Copies of this chain bind each other. A is one copy, B any other.
Amino acid sequence: MANTGRVTLPIQVGIDDEITELARRLGADAVRNSDGTELPEIAHQLVDKVYSTYFPARGDQDFALANPHTLVNQYLCSPRSTAPATGDLVIDVMEGYFRTQFAPKTDCDVKRWWQVIDRTTGQEVAADQWDTTPEGVVTIRNPQPFHVYTVGFLADQLWDSTQMYNYITNDWHLEPWRVKERPYDVRKAGVWEYAQDALKKWLRENPEVDVVRFTTFFYHFTLVFNDEAKEKYVDWFGYSASVSIEAMEAFEAEYGVALTAEDFVDEGYYNNAFRSPSERYLQWIDFQSRFVAERAKGLVDIAHAEGREAMMFLGDNWMGMEPYGKYFPRIGMDAVVGSVGSGATCRMISDIPGVKYTEGRFLPYFFPDVFNDEGDPVGEANSSWLQARRAIVRFPLDRMGYGGYPSLALKYPAFVDRMEEICNEFREIHELGGGQHPQNAPIRVAIVNAWGKLRTWQTYMVAHALWYKQIYTYLGIVEALSGLPFAVQFLSFDDVKAGALAEVDVLINGGVAGTAFSGGQAWLDAELTTAVRAFVARGGGFIGVGEPAAVSHGGSFIQLSDVLGVDREQSLSLSTDRYPRIVDNHPLLADVAGTFDIGEGGGDIVNLDRNVEVLAYVDDSVRASLNQYGKGRGIYLGGLPYSFENARLLYRAIYWAAGREEELENGTAWLTDDVRTEVAYYPNTSRIVVLNNSADAVSTTVRGLGRTWQVELAPMGYQWLDI
């Protein structure tokens, strides 16, 4: 096996010998600096390639301070304020916000760019009925007593969000030479010219850099702190921090639509990814993505002209780069690197089209929060690696790497040992897989939601891979799929209406009712519901998870309740008796040992008639069901938090939905007896790899091609078999 290549090591100055030895052990062929570390002079002696971070929108604070008109703007919503019984209503729009991060932008036509809305009626308050002080204290004259009002206001971003986060988290106020970095907006006067020159100059001054690691481009995801300097709002997908008067005027010139504060403030929801996107908001994303792609291409071209590669970090100021959007391939980006927190975030990176290679930054970061006496760096590395490995086997990242201070990692020899093993495993997947993806099962799967392809592997997420109580139930769908042998498409509702189901065997929809992922009012569209019904009736499979296709209308809540044979009890049909046909020990749930864990999903789900087979019934609620619908099938699952059992359940459910469940029984479909294990088949090299996703030693039978193998696996182990 090759024991070098495909690995990027973070390095730092002052420990040249140790770095050299570490690079050799890990087989690193590239090195990088981080935010806060510098490249040592030996960098190029160690490896083939040297990466360096580059910050196009905040890297030069001399420029930022000299050009205060270039600050990036952001739309914010004041606190919801109830008008008194009599008299004026006064709202300090900045109440609750971090005044070091934002200042209200009052040096503009506030009557045009700000907006006061009566949330009780939904009506805008006339411009002549309110005024603001320069500090953003708004007085609404003669408001409706006891109506609730908000002010949507434009603010200046005084502090780049990631730098603010790092600054506060790492106590940089103790290092007086650290400045609070102000972001500048490439759309504002003089910035674009400056940005090009600055990059050219930097490239000339840093000839040792092979790869410009853009960290990242122009607009930060939405990250707002509160008046106690703590996180107040975070949306990794949000465009609220991409606005400016210049951009809105350009938008109006192109689309003929004068956007207002409310188009961004969105009742205080700020168009987060769980909101069904409005047509205008989708236009805004397209508009900004086109602009960002054009400007990013400009910088990438400069790097290329200097013979360097351009790599993008998928995070921080990534808004508008949209790796699955239509403008991304035009940029000519050579590579994308991103943090791998799970199988889904791994696939989010590895599946990106139009780049030469992808790279995963693995956990844990070599930072003091984990590398301390209470920390468990080996444990974190293992859990992260095991969850990502399933996905890497399916659709390999081209490269892997780490981040942070290697001096910290070196203090933990067991961690270094484990890193070395992981790097070798990573290379082995590429080598023994013969440079091919393993074979997929012959069932084409699609997930449908309001976002479609744009949010490929990015569904049900708030802040990248962070856990939220309300999302893990559904995140499990994509997490399971990230390591299952199916080609997965992400479709929008419009795609489905345009006929995309012709290329699909099993369609999945799920999430919380009213969100963009379940779809909300999209399901009032008969064109959509009939397209799915026709698809299932002619033999397709539909899997609904949680509150699929859910919007109360016409006597049902799940608008495909006829397909699924179940509906949600909204406490409006309690008068109706249900006689569930409970089918115990159904093979679809063969791998669920105890109660089917549906996380936070479900609620009161009832069977609609006695035809639907209820496969799991707990607390008077259907947790899993199977319904024949024409030549196809509808399968309901209450939720699907990721677990070995649930990933396997989804594997079986997809076969059942496709009407191909006999392949699970007759040994045609690949299957391991133990749910802790999974198998991937490489027909070109006649090999299989069997993964043990658990920390236990496992003995399992593997079935496929009508044959069986018995495999013994060490904890977290794997085996390649020539077959």
Contacts and interface: CB of A to CB of B under 8 A. Distances in A.
Contact of A146 (B80, B120, B533): B533
A562 B82 contact: yes
Contact of A571 (B463, B470, B620): B470
A122 B559 CA distance: 13
Interface stretch (A269-277, A378-386, A445-453): A269-277
A515 B572 contact: yes
A534 interface: yes
Contacts of A232: 576-577
B120 A233 contact: no
Interface string A53-97: 000000000000000000000000001101011000000000010
Contact of A555 (B150, B274, B514, B608): B150
A206 interface: no
B275 A514 contact: no
B269 A555 contact: yes
Contacts of A471: 571, 574
Nearest to A525: B120
A145 interface: yes
Interface in A23-68: none
A469 interface: yes
A183 interface: no
Contacts of A148: 554, 556, 562
B572 A272 contact: yes
Given A514-B570, A554-B267, A120 B530 contact: yes
Given A145-B534, A148-B562, A575 B119 contact: no
Nearest to A120: B526
Nearest to A95: B609
Interface in A120-179: 120-122, 144-148, 150
A511 B572 CA distance: 12
A576 B274 CA distance: 12
Contact of A526 (B144, B234, B470, B609): B144
Given A233-B577, A577-B231, A604 B469 contact: yes
A530 B275 contact: no
Interface residues of A, number: 71
Contact of A574 (B80, B468, B604): B468
A146 B529 contact: yes
A609 B228 CA distance: 13
A587 interface: no
A147 to B, nearest CB: 6
A138 to B, nearest CB: 17
B233 A270 contact: no
Contacts of A268: 555, 573
For A121, A231, A526, A553, the residue with the greatest tally of chain B CB atoms inside 10 Å of its CB is: A526
Nearest to A517: B571
A546 B653 CA distance: 35
A96 B468 CA distance: 43
A419 to B, nearest CB: 34
Contacts of A122: 553-554
Interface in A541-570: 552-556, 561-562, 569-570
A468 B471 CA distance: 29
Given A267-B554, A268-B573, A573-B268, A530 B144 contact: yes
Given A120-B526, A268-B555, A574 B146 contact: no
A646 interface: no
Given A530-B120, A556-B80, A619 B469 contact: yes
Contacts of A96: 609
A704 to B, nearest CB: 37
A260 interface: no
Interface in A225-272: 226, 230-235, 238, 267-270, 272
A233 B579 contact: no
A79 B122 CA distance: 39
B530 A574 contact: no
Nearest to A121: B526
Contacts of A619: 469
For A555, A561, A573, A619, the residue with the greatest tally of chain B CB atoms inside 10 Å of its CB is: A555
Given A80-B555, A267-B555, A575 B146 contact: no
Contact of A529 (B120, B238, B552, B609): B120
A470 to B, nearest CB: 5
A588 interface: no
A553 B530 CA distance: 29
Nearest to A576: B233
A462 B529 contact: no
A209 interface: no
B272 A555 contact: no
A317 interface: no
Contacts of A145: 530, 534
B552 A514 contact: yes
A358 interface: no
Contacts of A512: 570-571
Given A80-B556, A232-B576, A514 B571 contact: yes
Interface in A211-230: 222, 226, 230
A460 to B, nearest CB: 9
Interface of A: 79-80, 82, 84-85, 96, 119-122, 144-148, 150, 222, 226, 230-235, 238, 267-270, 272, 274-275, 462-463, 468-471, 511-512, 514-515, 526, 529-530, 533-534, 537-538, 552-556, 561-562, 569-577, 579, 604, 608-609, 619-620
9 contacts: A80-B608, A85-B538, A121-B526, A146-B529, A146-B533, A232-B576, A270-B575, A272-B572, A272-B573
Given A232-B576, A268-B555, 5 more contacts: A120-B529, A148-B556, A267-B555, A511-B571, A514-B572
Report the 4 A-B pairs with minimum CB-CB distance, sorted nearest first.
A267-B555, A119-B554, A146-B530, A146-B533
